[in-house]
Amino acid sequence: MDNKIVENIIPSQPPIESQSDAHVLKSRLEWGEPALTILDVRDRQVHNQGHITGAMPMPLNELVDRATATIAKSRDIYVYGSNDEETAQAAQLLRNAGFEHVSELRGGLPAWKAIGGATEGVVEAKVPPSAGAYNVVDRMKEHTEQAEKDV
């Protein structure tokens, strides 16, 4: 049987950028694109309080050893820390260790939460998601109301 018919139906994923905003990652997850890993390089206790759903905890001081032991060098990796400087440091450590597709998630967890990204953890479980977490119309209303408050 000739597989040429279906060969180009699913477009290949373009290489990830060295920096990404939360929308890029959320879009990939919503489209069900596999083969990516999210790494949280913050302290384990901070990670347990709240993190992006599915993010693997790999504190900065253990990052290279743990990542090398568990993640393929060619895998798409989105990394975030406590701030953009820590995120950049973690990404550079991974690149220096030979990881080919590493992207710094700009804004980290706060940016992720700002766009209604799914979170989990001790603190996150106590804060019920807003209606906008599940409905784009409600999310737009929340955004508009917040924008009016900021003015």
pLDDT tens-digit map of 99-137: 999 999 999 999 999 998 889 988 765 655 555 555 666
CB 106 within 8 A of CB 19: yes
Q: Is the pLDDT of residue 86 over 90?
A: yes
The helix (H) or strand (E) run that includes residue 29 is helix 22-30
| 8 within domain boundaries | no
**Predicted pLDDT of residue 29:** 86
List Cα–Cα distances, 145 to 45, 117, 136, 149, in angstroms: 34, 19, 14, 6
Q: How many domains does the chain have?
A: 1
CB 111 within 8 A of CB 84: no
| 7 within domain boundaries | no
Is the sign of the CA dihedral 108, 114, 120, 122 positive or negative? positive
Q: Is the pLDDT of residue 51 over 90?
A: yes
Instruction: Tell me the residue range of the domain where 123 lies.
Output: 17-148
| 6 within domain boundaries | no
When the pLDDT of each residue in the chain is averaged and rounded to a whole number, the result is 83
| 67 within domain boundaries | yes
DSSP β-bridge partners for residue 102:
77
Region class of 54: left (phi > 0), else alpha (psi between -120 and 50), else beta: left
CATH number for 132: 3.40.250.10
| 2 within domain boundaries | no
**Predicted pLDDT of residue 123:** 79
Q: Is the pLDDT of residue 11 over 80?
A: no
Q: Is the pLDDT of residue 48 over 50?
A: yes
| 11 within domain boundaries | no
Statement: the pTM of the whole predicted model exceeds 0.85:
no
